[in-house]
A and B are shown apart, each in its own frame.
Chain A
């Protein structure tokens, strides 16, 4: 089975803060990491390859630095990575992102299964997987908790669907988003990190895609527009309690009594 896994590089921590006075973003530390939700998709892909053979390739869209995230997937066991990177992709919303990814996926044919994580920890939208399936015209399953091969042409996928667990036979090619916590992702291997050269990750730019019209990508290709960003509301009528631990515990105890919780 030929498997593609979509991954993203995300900020290492959510240390981006807004100055409440000036409304300006404060930036502390720019460390990045592989989106934690993607690890479950990568592990799923690698274990499918172990059982049924084939290859696993990772795909990511991002700035040149995102190559590091793809190298990490290679160190985990992915065969090779493709970084989709171009100035034209800047400012992309979910729609423009999924469109760009769909163009890259077409370049990476043939493939049978496209795997994505549940969501990213920076955007938190959980939308790109499903939008990508629509762009590619393949069926998609979200929140997958297990994936098995049924035969050479289809998978048995079990899905966590709110109040029920649904198991379905899904024909290939298809796109599956893994749920969080469905496996224990393996760690990057030191040996693989030594063996994997820089050329295990290749880059695709706009010029490599079938549709080279820059209006379909990045900001021009986005349907949504961020009008403004602002710090969240603060609760103005809060009470601050200070004192010794005993005083604080007593104060909270009184509060709970007064509100009839105890």
Chain B
């Protein structure tokens, strides 16, 4: 840990104003000719780097705050998200990543499975390279209820003591993981797009940060376990092994740990709407479209390509599209064979939701648009002219294919 120190001997009007402009987060304020850090400070160190030389320095604290004996925490655990006997695909993706991470420190991979009627799901997990599946199988866990689920998660951590815990960033995972992380007063990093393991078992978590265009590398150096969430389709799922390996251990908790005053009144399965995360071909619209009606251009092209129509955040916020069609950190993550972006600027948050796609064709009139940084084919031009022409080409090609 470190803290920032203002060296008073360098305080003068010019230096103060330089320091204030060096901070993008309103983390500094001036009061009576002195500088103070506010609650806006993110400890990014930019005031040290870009501010007046010597005015602010970052001082390492000699003693790491709370000491944790890392050797007492072993293994990489995956929370197995499921609906009844069907495991959510993100679970397999996380197990694949957990195996990679655990191999660095030669530690086991665990899965935590909580619910009711889980024999089949537990067996399935053994085909994906989990060393041990810990099962909490109780009728009281048939529906997701925050308190009992957090309690069995806590029980698992106290008994198994995993070093890292990976949770799928589903709505359920995003509600459950923070609750458990806070219970252990430990770190939780949301929506990681890259994970690495250090020799000392510190999990290196990389995610887009600060509202967009920056990647942050985050560690939890003094606490265990280290929690992170990862979205569906960010990592690749491993192949299913023919022969299962590993074992299943049934866990138990005292009955009062399964109690809650929350009562489920009804559960309704959502209608099967088309999920853009599953789409092979996607046409995505951005702010390059001037009016909602104009997105019809994209809709026609999408139809010809058999593609799903998607959008960036501003268009979902403007209610031009249903939020379920939104790509990005606040929307869906896609892994398409082909994605054509039209007038999308391509902020990191959007890019994080689609850059795993095999072929990215980006159309944007701004040659410096960020989307071109990740595109495989950067088409610099006006979508209003290109899209209708491309639509004609696709229509022609289709006609030939049919005849």
Contact = CB atoms under 8 A, between A and B. Distances in A.
A90 B382 contact: no
A24 B274 CA distance: 41
Contact of B213 (A87, A129, A232, A240): A232
A108 interface: no
B397 A262 contact: yes
Given A140-B179, A248-B386, A250-B393, A225 B305 contact: no
A119 to B, nearest CB: 7
A237 B179 CA distance: 43
Interface string A116-128: 0001011111111
A16 B361 contact: no
A228 B138 CA distance: 43
Interface stretch (B22-30, B71-79, B116-124): B22-30
Contact of A229 (B215, B338, B375): B215
B43 A91 contact: yes
B178 A134 contact: yes
B83 interface: yes
Interface in A58-82: 61-66
B345 to A, nearest CB: 10
A258 to B, nearest CB: 11
B361 A228 contact: no
Interface stretch (A42-50, A162-170, A189-197): A162-170
Contacts of A85: 38-39
B170 interface: yes
B185 interface: yes
A215 interface: yes
A235 B190 contact: no
Contact of B187 (A24, A30, A168, A223): A223
A21 to B, nearest CB: 14
For the residues of B in contact with A, the DSSP-based class is: mixed
B268 interface: yes
A116 B39 CA distance: 20
B258 to A, nearest CB: 14
B267 A14 contact: no
Contacts of A66: 39-40
B171 A143 contact: yes
A238 B43 contact: no
Interface residues of B, number: 119
Interface in B9-66: 21, 23-24, 26-27, 29, 36-44, 46, 49-50, 65
A1 interface: no
A90 B41 contact: yes
Contact of B361 (A225, A252, A257): A252
Contacts of B177: 127, 130
A89 B269 contact: no
A87 B83 contact: no
Contacts of B389: 245-246, 249-250
Interface stretch (B93-101, B128-136, B240-248, B346-354): B346-354
B211 A121 contact: yes
Interface in A84-106: 84-87, 89-95, 98
B174 A232 contact: no
B93 to A, nearest CB: 15
A227 interface: yes
Contacts of A130: 174-179, 182
B294 interface: no
A77 to B, nearest CB: 22
A247 B208 CA distance: 36
Contacts of B263: 168-169
A164 B84 CA distance: 12
Contacts of A32: 26
Contacts of B43: 90-91, 219, 226
Contact of A166 (B143, B179, B215, B393): B143
Contacts of B265: 156, 167-169
Given A11-B211, A127-B190, A166 B266 contact: yes
Given A14-B347, A95-B188, A161-B172, A241 B147 contact: no
B211 to A, nearest CB: 4
A126 B209 CA distance: 13
A44 B283 CA distance: 34
B222 interface: yes
A187 interface: no
Contact of B390 (A64, A238, A253): A253
B221 interface: yes
A230 interface: yes
Interface of B: 1-3, 21, 23-24, 26-27, 29, 36-44, 46, 49-50, 65, 83, 88, 143-147, 150, 170-172, 174-183, 185-191, 204, 208-223, 260-270, 281, 304-305, 317, 319, 323, 329-330, 337-338, 340, 347-349, 351, 359-361, 363, 372-382, 385-387, 389-390, 392-394, 397-398, 401
| A-B pairs with lowest CB-CB distance, top 7 | A90-B41, A14-B212, A249-B389, A223-B187, A245-B385, A253-B393, A130-B178
Given A98-B182, A261-B281, 6 more contacts: A16-B210, A94-B190, A130-B175, A140-B146, A238-B376, A250-B389
